[in-house]
Amino acid sequence: MSRMGFEVELDALGTPQVFEQPEAHRVLVTGASGILGQGVARALLASGSEVVTLQRRPSGVEGAEDVRGSVADPEAVARAMDGVDTVVHVAAKVSVSGREEEFELVNVAGTQYVVEAARDAGVSRMVHISSPSVAHAGSSIVGEGAGPADPAAARGPYARTKAAGELIALSADSPSFHVLALRPHLMWGPGDMQLTDRIVQRARAGRMPVLGSGAALVDTLYTWNAVEAVLAAVTAADHTHGESLVVTNGEPRPVGELITRIAMAGGAAPPRLRLPAGVARRAGALVERAWERNLFGMRRATADGEPPLTEFLAEQLSTSHWFDQRRTREVLDWRPRVSIDEGLERVAEHYAER
């Protein structure tokens, strides 16, 4: 078996953690070509569920029924919903830059289409994948639970539109349509291109900064733990719904330590670039504006297609954000099985084999 991404996890951990699944379980997973959606689809299949996927390109999930299309296309969403009793809505536009209307089309309108089609099809439960950024207003979060999503206070187009999408999903909760929102926080692991590979590649290029002292404590979530939390949420939604839960490993670490260890696990040297946090935030705001206008050909200068720094990214790298996990673990009856240290070993194995 190829040792890439979630195939590694299924091989190394055996079957997914067992969560009792409802009878006649046919699940639609949106966004199953991404690492979380793909992992959830595979794990659901392994647990005996029938799985339909909806995304713009092939999911790569053997055994799933692929429906090609976007959540921003209501007709494609309606086709994918045929015979489904459960929806796991993962699809989203995720980026630190871009035009607001692009985020709104997928994260707001797309969520509305999924909710409407699910209710029309008689779906009984939906797990909506959100983000802790929907309740982050720029200051530190220290040991708090899931605060209310607030599009007006959220920072940047991704967070604002994810906040609006979460509110749409939760407003649809009812006795006949159970909606539970999960907010995975800073997912990383083998095969992850959003955070893990970006840190590794930028560290290799000498462009991964540590802001301030690097001592701000942050929670993260190993990707396989995220998959199992989603499976737990499918079952939990039968008895607890209409609320949001932040999901993390529950192991806050200094952000500078995490960045350094992920970079080194990927074979890069420890980041040596240090910037004062205040300077980084101001520089991030300037870089964002220059990036949007493509001044000096900036968009050709980064291999990952993202600006090297934004104000939101500088905030995330310089403020503490770790969360009280008691409510999450109580509702989901779930505990993360892979620790940060074990996860880093798996990331190192992944990059060594590449």
Catalytic residues: 158
Three-class DSSP category at 66: strand
- At 344, phi and psi to the nearest 5? -65, -35
61 contacts 74 by C-beta, under 8 angstroms: no
CB atoms within 10 A of CB 204: 14
For 141, which DSSP code?
A: E
What is the enclosing helix (H) or strand (E) of 30?
strand 26-30
At how many degrees (to 10) do helices 156-171 and 311-318 cross? 80
CA 78 vs. chain centroid, Å, equals 24
Closest by CA to 221, choosing from 195, 250, 197, 245, is 250
- Give 160's Cβ-side CA count (13 Å radius): 16
- At 217, phi and psi to the nearest 5? -80, 130
134 contacts 154 by C-beta, under 8 angstroms: yes
For β-strands 26-30 and 86-89, DSSP reports them as parallel
185 contacts 160 by C-beta, under 8 angstroms: no
What is the enclosing helix (H) or strand (E) of 347?
helix 340-353
Within 8 A by CB and 6+ apart from 191, the residues are: 4, 5, 6, 8, 35, 223, 350
What is the DSSP track for 299-323?
Answer: GGS-TTSS-S--HHHHHHHHS-EEE
β-sheet bridge partners, residue 106: none
How big is the chain, counted in residues? Answer: 354
**If you search the block for the tokens 């070993």, which residue do you land on?**
345
